[in-house]
Structure 1
Amino acid sequence: MANTKSAKKRILINERNRLKNRLYKSSVRTLTKSFLKYLEVYKSSKSLEDKEKVKKTLNSIYSLIDKGTKRNIFHKNTAARKKAQLVSYLKVIEI
């Protein structure tokens, strides 16, 4: 257990940051799963509504990844890799 006042404060700050980081990372994972689900639906139906869902979900994932990168939750190369993987899934379907 922490003995000094500053060590106790660091414990509180670390917990706050951990929860914030977890929020971003889990949100990106959840949205990625829904993106892949919408992609499968679009793959079978080829309707414009499903395509809009896919694009909308992709934009929201991009937004979260970029905000997380700006706040040092994701490394910039990790963010670029995640975004490239998502686009590659989409390109395979459209080709």
Structure 2
Amino acid sequence: MAHTLSANKRIRQSEKKKLRNKAYKSKMRTVVKKFYTAADTNDVETAEKAYMEAVKIVSKVGQKGVIHESQASRRVSRLTLKLNAVKSA
């Protein structure tokens, strides 16, 4: 256990940040899963709506530093590829 005030403060701050990041990641996973579900059923309209929401959340999570910017970009790219495949099918 930490003894100094600054160490205790860092522990409190990191706990808050951990909970916040966990919520962001959970939200991101949920919207991405919703998109893939819509895409797998070949429902283009629902997939497009879910895509817009997923891209928004993934980009925001990347900007906030919860996931790396490159990972966010890669995820958006994969979502786009899947959406284009659904549209062309």
Tell me if both proteins adopt one fold, taking TM over 0.5 as the criterion: yes
CA contact (8 A) 2:35 2:50 kept: yes
- Counterpart in the other structure of 1:51: 44
Q: Which amino acid aligns with 1:39?
A: A
CA distance in structure 2 between the aligned counterparts of 1:67 and 1:93, rounded to whole angstroms = 25
- Counterpart in the other structure of 1:14: 14
Q: Which amino acid aligns with 2:18?
A: R
Helix, strand or coil at the partner of 2:2: coil
Listed one character per residue, the Cα deviations across residues 21-70 of structure 1 (whole Å, up to 9, x for unaligned) are 111111111111111111122x2xxxxxx423211111111111121122
- Counterpart in the other structure of 1:62: 55
Percent of residue pairs identical: 31
- Counterpart in the other structure of 1:83: 76
- So what's the TM-score if we normalise by structure 1? 0.83
- Count of matched residue pairs: 88
CA distance in structure 1 between the aligned counterparts of 2:15 and 2:50, rounded to whole angstroms = 30
After superposition, the CA RMSD in angstroms is 1.3
Where in structure 1 are there 5+ consecutive unaligned residues?
A: 44-49
- Counterpart in the other structure of 2:29: 29
